[in-house]
Structure 1
Amino acid sequence: MPERSALAAELALGLLEGADRASALRLVLSDPGFAAEVDSWRARMAPLYDGFADVAPPSGLMARIDQAIDAEAAADQVTTLMPAPRAQGGWKIATFAASAVAAMLALALVWPSPQSPGPAPQEKADVAVAQLTGPIDGLLLTARYDSSTSEMLVRVEGMPVTETEPELWIVPADGQPRRLGRLLRGGVTRIAIPEGHRKFIDPVSELILTMEPRVLHDPDRPSAPTVAQGRLQRI
């Protein structure tokens, strides 16, 4: 994979941190071609994010992992796959596992296997996804619309604390924003798309985020500048 494509994939997968992430985000804003490549990766990942609920690890999990690593029988079983000294401890094993999961996800996106297990897609369901980014460092929105339920699920990450509220809008080909609803500052917001707005779920439409007063001056148009945006893509 070319270095530029790899950088786009790493940004979409959330593998970049600190100065590397800031540099990549600046490139997104200055280079439309790179931004399109990042959006393509994020659009392919969006269904994976929204298809699974967040689950907290059970209490005492790390202690059990450490015990398994320290056990001679367990060490004999994993030595050919992961020949790491026992003194490294549970936290390095967890880091290895996280890196392996990220690598496996990247491979699955590049080279999907028809035998791979996963949720069966609903027949005739029209699904559209979008990733919204902007100049606010760390702010990322992932939107997924399913025509079978006429609902849009929007996951928000990195929302700063402000006195204004996040509002989601859809901007179709005519350039006139239509309000979809107010979002939670974190986690997933479920929005029932009004019947009159469903016709705008189209690849020529964009989703935008603005930070509005708690009481909207005009619910039919934004009163604040766009802080994140992304184009809808059908999958």
Structure 2
Amino acid sequence: MSDDRTLDDTPDMAAAELALGLLEGEERSRALRRVLAETGFAQDVERWRGHLAQLFDLWPAIPAPAGVLERVEWSIDGPAAMAVPTPPRRHFFWPAIAGVSSVAAAALLLFVVLRPISYVPHPVRPAATPTAPVAAVPAKMLVASIDPVEKGTPVTAVYDPGSGALRLTAAALADANRSAELWVIGGDGVPHSLGLLRSAGGSSLAVNSANRARLAAGATLAVSLEPIGGSPTGLPTGPVVATGALSQV
């Protein structure tokens, strides 16, 4: 299904914020539910991810010097007058993102929120004592739009690496005499079955330990038509009717 919108045509900011990993709690849950329920919103997330993917590797993770986080938090919540100079607060304006200036703002906001704070007003010497361990970052969600080979509605897939749960929207790809079976194709190029899809109400699949390693950004999800109950051989036996690639959000 085609979509002629571009990132400059009144973007849905929830899609951009989800792609950047800025949403938390109920806002993140609401956005993920929209990915499952709204094809256009899921495609907006995909476009934002592709538009900003080149920015994710620009800054390596650097442990923050001791006391920087406390000074930044104090500068945000404390009195306006400060006895000790602190890094200036960054303000980002999101109502209209367009062009190169908007991409730079998104990159800086992503760096501040998702990376340890490392900005200091002047160069400092390395600390004499080891810094505290940095907390592990939760695994990022993976999404894919599985597009039919012929005309039809794409199937949106959302995978949570933390729980191993794979959720998909309704897949009206098979008739009453066949089953739609979902496969993942990783770096080895071999299809591995993830389970059968339901034609109504969406599907929720529990991914086994072997397939969890294969569900990574860039892996292909494909749907084939199989006999009722699934492929009898462990490999696709019928035509492939839809494909899509996993992307990280």
TM-score (normalizing by structure 1): 0.50
Larger radius of gyration: 2
Q: Which has the higher helix share?
A: 1
Q: TM-score, normalised by structure 2?
A: 0.47
